[in-house]
Amino acid sequence: AARSGAELAGQRAGDALACAKLNQAVSDLQEEIDLQMQAVGELIYATHRGSPSNSDDVQEILEFVDSLYEEMEGHQQELKRLRGELLCAGCGAENESANLYCHNCGQPLGRE
């Protein structure tokens, strides 16, 4: 019993550390998104002030921001999993623990 308790405590400590790292990664990504969006705003404002910006530059930044948002979403989904939230593997919807099937798409919910 003591051994399984120690293993469980170790697992929880590992999960807590993983959550802390993921939270930091999400924070870093949000900071980078904010900086990139500021750059887009500055380019658009420069155009407004008479210094046309290259629309390809704006598009490139926005595509980069899209990739940052996708990465952040992945981290947030992993955080939910570590916290024990029941997520649908098909659509990512959060479900109540009593659900056998996803309330959003109807896919069977796998339980680990």
Q: pLDDT tens across 70-112, in order?
A: 999 999 989 988 888 888 888 888 888 788 999 999 999 876 5
Residue in 26, 54, 25 with CA at minimum distance from that of residue 40: 54
What pTM did the predictor assign?
0.73
Least confident segment among 1-15, 29-43, 51-65, 92-106: 1-15
Q: How far, in Å, CA of 94 to CA of 80, rounded?
A: 9
What does the mean pLDDT of the chain come to?
91
3-state secondary structure labels for all residues of the chain: CHHHHHHHHHHHHHHHHHHHHHHHHHHHHHHHHHHHHHHHHHHHHHHHCCCCCCHHHHHHHHHHHHHHHHHHHHHHHHHHHHCCCEECCCCCCEECCCCCECCCCCCECCCC
